[in-house]
Amino acid sequence: MIQVLKASEHSGPLVLSYMDRAGKIAVERVANGFGMSKSQLAETAGLSRETLYRSGRSQGARTQSRLREMLEIISRVSDWAGGKEQAMAWYRAQPLPAFGGRTAEALVKDGKAAAVRDYLDHMALGGFA
C-alpha cells in the first residue's frame, strides 16, 4: 500500500527548507535543491521562464503559490518515493489513472493542485487509483 502523509504532517519541513527569512520560497534554493536551472524549475511549476529570473515577479503571490503547491505535493510523496529527487521524478512523469493518465505536474500547471492533494489523501486512506 502506498503511504502518503497529509500536508500538515510532512509538507512543512520541506517547504520551510526552501523559504527565505521573509517567509517567501527562495527560487534559487529550490532550483539548486533539485539540481535544476531556474528555467527548468519554471517549466516544472508551469510558470514563464522570465518569472523566476525577475525578483519582483518571483516574489509575487501567484508564483509563490504555484511553487508552494509543487513543494507540498512533492513533500507528501517523498517518503514512499525514496526521497525528494524521486518524488520530483514522480511528480513530473508518473501518470495518474484517476486523472486520465495526466501527471501531478500537468494538473498543478492547470491549477488543480487541490485535486492532486485530495487524490493523495484518498490513497493514504487506502483508496484505489
Cα 129 to Cα 9, 98, 120: the distances in Å are 22, 6, 9
At residue 86, the pLDDT reads 96
CA distance 78 to 11: 10
Contacts of 24 by beta carbon, 8 Å cutoff, 6+ apart: 59, 64
Taking residues 92-106, report their average pLDDT.
96
Q: 96 by DSSP, 3-state: which?
A: strand
pLDDT at 105 over 90: yes
Q: Check residues 3 and 63 and name the one with the higher pLDDT.
A: 63
- The model's pTM: 0.84
pLDDT in tens, 48-92: 999 999 988 999 999 999 999 999 999 999 988 999 999 999 999
At residue 102, the pLDDT reads 98
At residue 41, the pLDDT reads 96
- The 8-class DSSP code of residue 97 comes to G
Tell which residue, 73, 69, 59, 5, has the closest CA to residue 28.
Answer: 59
pLDDT in tens, 7-31: 334 446 788 999 999 999 999 999 9
What does the block give as the cell for 73?
505535493
Q: What residues does each domain of the chain span?
A: 7-124
